[in-house]
Amino acid sequence: MRYVSRRDVLRGGIAAGAVGALGAVGAGIGFESPTAALAVSRKGKRKPNSLPDPSRPMGTPDESLPFNYVICWMMENHSFDNYFGMLPKHGQPLADGFKFDKAGKPLNFNMSATGEKIRAFKLSGGCAGDGISQSWDVTHQSIYGSPGVADMSGFVKAVNDDQPMAYWQGDTLPFYYSFAKTFTLANRWFCSAPCQTYPNRRFLMAGTAFGDISTDTSSIIGSSGIAAAPPNGTIFDRLSAAGISWRNYFTDLPQTGIIPTIIEKYPQNVVPIAQFFADCAAGTLPAVSFVDPEFGALGEVGSPIASLPSVASLPGVLLDTTGGDEENPQDILYGQASSAAVVNAVMQSPLWQDILFVYTYDEHGGYYDHVPPPAAIRPDDIPPELGPGDYPGSYDIYGPRVPAVVMSAYSKPHSVTNVVHDHTSVLATIEAKWNLPACTYRDANASTMLDFLNLKKMSFPEPPTLAAAPDPLPGSLSCSDQPPTPPNG
């Protein structure tokens, strides 16, 4: 892992002076070009730094796309089957969930190391059990249950526990089930890499994990300084270079801390979530919003971010939270209530008819899913930083499916899409709307989210009524030692 000092970041920003220097195809803005060898290996594919529409100047909005605001709300650590495997039996028969017996119970199973068939089983309440992992090694072993075969049969054996086969359904997740049935559900949204939170959220912001495979402090800060920026920049560099407004709204800690140079360069764009609710109500949202749940400064995801001096100095940062993003061992009812508060704020905004909102999860959390991830285009020439005992691999396969729903006045109602997406589809959509240069081969060639929409018909001129999220308190106190921060809004 390469590290840089704060002085390096402030002295040599990736996008400094980019607007004036930008050419028609994004060349000359300070982003590194791919190597010749890499370009040859991806012959026929769109390249990093290329514009979606070379005939339009960078930063020019495509008025044919029926939105002017993009909002991304990404939660933590659940697979599609873990949340929506039962949806075919609960109001959306087109959802690609479990297979069922005549009694409506899931038939899906994994074998244990002792030869026991572990069928998918229901959890009641919001607390998850122990015995799950989404590490690089465990995720690969889960996918490749049989050597060299991506048959999704290794989840139980990889952790020697039955917990990966657990699932929830609509009686625990009434808001999420109502949300998924009302708008357009993704049947094929995969996490960007078969590993943990930090590399997947790096894909969301930069189209690459640039070597990272895990969630730990060494991913973002070392003895010599903070982790270096991705070599070809982030979506925030491109938005800033084009003069497109954006903000990262955070509950306790900002996800932009996972690429710490973002906060060093753009501290004014990182603000507390209370401002998001105010901006929704006032109709003053920026063009692009990344909204973060409560990661938990005392938890696995939040504690490394909390260690960054640039994060600790931000107004509104909370350093004593335990988390509300639905990562084990948190109560998922609290996360569902937080999602409902954010969704309702968007639906009540005067900007409603102009917003595209995506709800998804960073990775599968170690939970079973039955759909094998397809091959993925390698984003760049940076290999994963594997140790001698790590499972061999590259960033050339997606990770397991995760829940994803797109909400818009133009969403196809009560519908699904079977187009393959990953987190870089968020980047591809932003880049298509404002004609921004791609960060890597991955986002350059990712599907946009336009398949979720009917571009010619507004299906929801007024926001629909969704099922309420149950009050998570005081039940959420039973899942961890400390209470979470109550959701805002």
pLDDT digits (tens, 9 = 90+) for 457-474: 999 999 999 999 998 876
Cβ atoms within 10 A of the Cβ of 295, count? 30
Q: Give the model's confidence band at 218: pLDDT under 50 very low, under 70 low, under 90 confident, else very high.
A: confident
What is each CA distance from 477 to 122, 143, 239, 323, 485, in whole angstroms?
21, 34, 40, 12, 11
84 sits in which H/E element: helix 80-84
Which tens digit of pLDDT belongs to each residue from 233-271? 999 999 999 999 999 999 999 999 999 999 999 999 999
Q: What is the pLDDT of residue 457?
A: 94
Q: What is the pLDDT of residues 77-106, one digit of tens each?
A: 999 999 999 999 999 999 999 999 999 999
Check residue 471 and give its pLDDT.
87
Q: What single-letter amino acid sits at 130?
A: D
Segment 22-80, tens digit of pLDDT: 333 333 333 332 223 333 357 789 999 999 999 999 999 999 999 999 999 999 999 99
Whether residue 11 is predicted with pLDDT greater than 50 in this model: the reply is no
Confidence grade of residue 327 (pLDDT, cut at 50, 70, 90): confident
Can you tell me the distance from the alpha carbon of 371 to that of 48, in angstroms, rounded to the nearest whole number? 29
Task: Give me the DSSP letters along 153-192.
Answer: --HHHHHTSSGGGEE--TTT-HHHHHHHHHSEEESSBB-S
Please enumerate in sequence order all residues whose Cβ is within 8 A of that of 179, keeping only pairs 6 or more positions apart, or say none. Answer: 339, 343, 359, 405, 407, 466
* Model confidence band, residue 177 (pLDDT cutoffs 50, 70, 90): very high
pLDDT of residue 318: 81
- Candidates 180, 116, 149, 111; CA nearest to 368 is 111
DSSP 3-54: EE-HHHHHHS-TTTTHHHH--TTSTTSSPPPPPHHHHHHTTTSPPTT--S-T
Do residues 474 and 425 lie in contact, with contact meaning Cβ atoms separated by under 8 Å? no
Region 163-169 average pLDDT: 96
> With 90 as the cut, is the pLDDT of residue 225 above it?
no
Q: How many CA atoms lie within 13 A of 280 on its CB side?
A: 24
pLDDT at residue 478, as a whole number:
63
Q: Are the beta carbons of 163 and 129 closer than 8 angstroms?
A: yes
CA geometry: angle 284, 454, 362, nearest 5 deg: 65
Q: What pLDDT score does 2 carry?
A: 53
pLDDT, the chain, mean: 88
Output phi, psi for 167, to 5 deg: -150, 160
pLDDT at position 54 = 96
Domains, in order of start, for the chain: 3-105+168-478 (3.40.720.10)
The partner residues of 225 in beta bridges, in order of sequence, read 222
For residues 191 and 315, the model is more confident at 191
Whether the bond between 470 and the residue before it is cis, its omega within 30 degrees of 0, is: no
484 pLDDT tier (thresholds 50, 70, 90): very low
Average of per-residue pLDDT across 317-335: 82
Distance of alpha carbon 362 from alpha carbon 191, whole angstroms: 6
Enter the tokens of residue 261: 């140079």
Rounded to 5 degrees, φ, ψ at 165 are: -90, 5
116-158 pLDDT per residue, tens: 999 999 998 888 878 899 999 999 999 999 888 999 999 999 9
Instruction: State the pLDDT at residue 39.
Output: 32
Q: Is 431 helix (H, G, I), strand (E, B) or coil?
A: helix
Q: Do 251 and 293 meet the contact criterion of CB atoms below 8 Å apart?
A: yes
Q: Which residues contact 17 (CB under 8 A, 6 or more apart)?
A: 30
The CA R_g of the chain, rounded to the nearest whole Å, is 21
**Predicted local confidence at residue 190, as pLDDT:** 98
Pairing relationship of beta strands 221-222 and 225-227 according to DSSP bridges: antiparallel
Q: Is the dihedral of CA 65, 69, 74, 80 positive or negative?
A: negative
pLDDT band at 440 (very low <50, low <70, confident <90, very high): very high
pLDDT confidence of residue 37: 35
CB-based contacts of 383, cutoff 8 Å, min separation 6: 211, 394, 395
Cβ proximity of 181 and 238 under 8 Å: no
447-476 as b/e: b if 16+ CB within 10 A: bbbbbbbbeeeebbeebeebbebbebeeeb
Distance CA 342, CA 277 (A): 8
Q: Which two tokens stand for residue 11?
A: 């002295």
pLDDT at 475: 58
Say how far apart CA 241 and CA 489 lie, in whole Å: 32
* Residue 246 host element (H or E): strand 246-250
- Tens digit of pLDDT for each residue in 282-316? 999 999 999 999 988 777 778 888 888 888 888 88
Angle between helices 424-434 and 197-206 (to 10 degrees): 10
In tens, the pLDDT along 379-421 reads 999 999 999 999 999 999 999 999 999 999 999 999 999 999 9
Residue (of 251, 296, 294) closest to 275 by Cα position: 251
Residues across the chain: 489
Token output for 139 = 């995720």
Q: What is the pLDDT of residue 19?
A: 31
